[in-house]
Amino acid sequence: NAGVTQTPKFQVLKTGQSMTLQCAQDMNHEYMSWYRQDPGMGLRLIHYSVGAGITDQGEVPNGYNVSRSTTEDFPLRLLSAAPSQTSVYFCASSYSSLSRPNYGYTFGSGTRLTVV
């Protein structure tokens, strides 16, 4: 089925390790974004991209890097994992053109990350 695919679903890292969370969508959406979800904090935007080759920071970008070499993929890299990055990470995508009647995001199923 079409949608947003995130891998892995679960991950445990040691402090200082690096890793990449994968996100892929097959809906030809221009806009992609990464959120983290923590209890009591809601969804907070980490990084986003309005198209291939274009990325920008969100609300909580420190400790994370992104790149967008293709329309389909938007990986999130943790450079040196810290316990404060323990969270559930969601990737989301949408059309970005105002001419398209689609105002909502399609979310992936999430990656549960624990940093020990």
Query: d(Cα 75, Cα 55) in Å, to the nearest integer?
Result: 11
Residue 87's Cβ-count burial label (10 Å; 0-12, 13-18, 19+) is buried
Residue 91's Cβ-count burial label (10 Å; 0-12, 13-18, 19+) is buried
Binding residue (CB under 8 A) for another protein from 74, 94, 113, 115: 94
Return the number of the residue (44 or 77) whose C-beta is nearest another protein: 44
Binding residue (CB under 8 A) for another protein from 43, 75, 77, 82: 43
Q: Within 63-82, which residues bind another protein (CB under 8 A)?
A: none
Residues in touch with another protein (CB under 8 A):
4, 31, 33, 35, 40-43, 45, 48, 50, 56, 58, 90, 92, 94-96, 98, 103-110
